[in-house]
Structure 1
Amino acid sequence: MVVSDTHMPRMAKKLPERLVRELGSADRILHAGDWTSEDVYEELVRYAPVEGVAGNNDGEALSAKFGFRKRIQCGEVRIGLVHGHGKNARITAEQQAAAAFGPDEVDVVVFGHSHVPVSKKQGGVLLFNPGSPTDKRRQKRYSFGILEIDGKEIKAKHVFYDSKE
C-alpha cells in the first residue's frame, strides 16, 4: 500500500473509508511524506508495518523520526522513498524524486508532494506517486496506490475515489 500527503488533521479528521478497506490486506505501508501528525503513523501501523519519509510540511519531530530519503528492500525489488520537494521551485516533484537516487540504486521511486498520481518508467525505473487520499487539490478524485511485487516483477496501480469520508 502506498500513500502520501495525508495532511491530517487539517485535510481530514480520519483516514478515508476507501483507504481503510484496502489497508486490511496490506503487507506493508509506504508513506511518502506530509503526514503533518504522528497520529497518522499510529493509525497506519495498526494495519501493517509502516515505512515513511518526512515531507516539507512535517515538523522537526517527524523529520527526525523518518528522515527525508530511504531505500527499502521488498523481496528482490529496491524501492526508493522520498517526498519530492526541494529548494528550487522550478524543478517538479517528479524531477526531484527521479534525481534522488542513483541510476542503479533502485527499481522504483515512490514520491509525493504534488498530489498528482504518476506511474511511469523513466530510464528503467518506475516513478510512482500515489496522489493524496485526503487532499486532491486540482485532481478530480482522491487516490492512493498499490504495489504488488512478485520476484522482480512490479505491478503498480492507483485506486481512485470521490469522498474522503
Structure 2
Amino acid sequence: MKIVVVSDTHMPRMNKKLPDRLLRELKTAKAIIHAGDWTNLSVYESLAAFAPVYGVAGNNDGADIIHKFGFRRLIELDGVKMGIVHGHGTGKRIDTEARALEAFKNVSLDVLIYGHSHIPVLKRSAGLLVFNPGSPTDKRKQPLYSFGIFKLASGTVTAKHIYYGDKS
C-alpha cells in the first residue's frame, strides 16, 4: 500500500495549487496523510480527490479544520499503527519532535508523523519510525521542497522523502 505523507502546505498563501511533483505521486496513492497547517479546507478537498485522507490540524489552521481533524490522531493501515500530530506548542521549533513524541507517550506506535518545523526527518528510534515530510510548498531554509512516501506491506513500513526544487 502506497501512502503519500505531507504537511505544512499553507495554501493558498504559499502556493495556489498542489505542486506537479506531488500530484504525480498522488495518482497512485492508496491513502494520504497530512500533518497539519493546511490553512484551507480546499487542500483537503484536492487531496481527497485522489485517495482517503487522514490528518490533523496545525497552529495555522482555523476552527473548521480543527473541528474536522483535531490535533492528534491514531490510525492503523495494513497493520501499521501510526500517530499523527502537528507538533506545535510552547518552546522553540527545535523542540517540535520532542513535543510530537510527548503527544504519544505510553502509546504503542510503529510510526510517528509530525510537521510544523518544515524540516524533513526520517529516523528510527527504539523501533519507532519518526517522520516529518517537510513541506511541498514552503521550504523555508531547506534547500528543497519535500513530502514523503510510505510503502506498507505485511505490517511493515518503508519510508522515503521526495525532494524537488520547483513547487509549480
Q: Same fold (TM over 0.5)?
A: yes
Give the 3-state SS of the residue equivalent to 2:50 in structure 1.
coil
Q: CA RMSD in A?
A: 1.1
**Alignment deviations for residues 87-138 of structure 1 (CA, whole Å, 9 cap, x no partner):** 2337611111111113442110011000000001122211100000000000
Is there any run of 5+ residues in structure 1 with no aligned partner, and where? none
Larger deviation, residues 100-109 vs 139-148: 100-109
Matched residues in 1 for 2:89 and 2:127: separation? 23
* Pairs within 5 Å for 1:1-40: 1-40=4-43
Instruction: Give the paired residue count.
Output: 165
Normalising to structure 2: TM-score of the pair? 0.95
Residue aligning to 1:52: 55
Check if 1:127 corresponds to 2:124.
no
Q: Structure 2 counterpart of 1:143, which letter? A: S
Residue aligning to 1:63: 66
Is there any run of 5+ residues in structure 2 with no aligned partner, and where? none
Check if 1:116 corresponds to 2:119.
yes
Q: Structure 2 counterpart of 1:32, which letter? A: A
Matched residues in 1 for 2:93 and 2:28: separation? 38
Normalising to structure 1: TM-score of the pair? 0.96
**CA pair 91-138 structure 1, distance change in 2 beyond 3 A:** closer
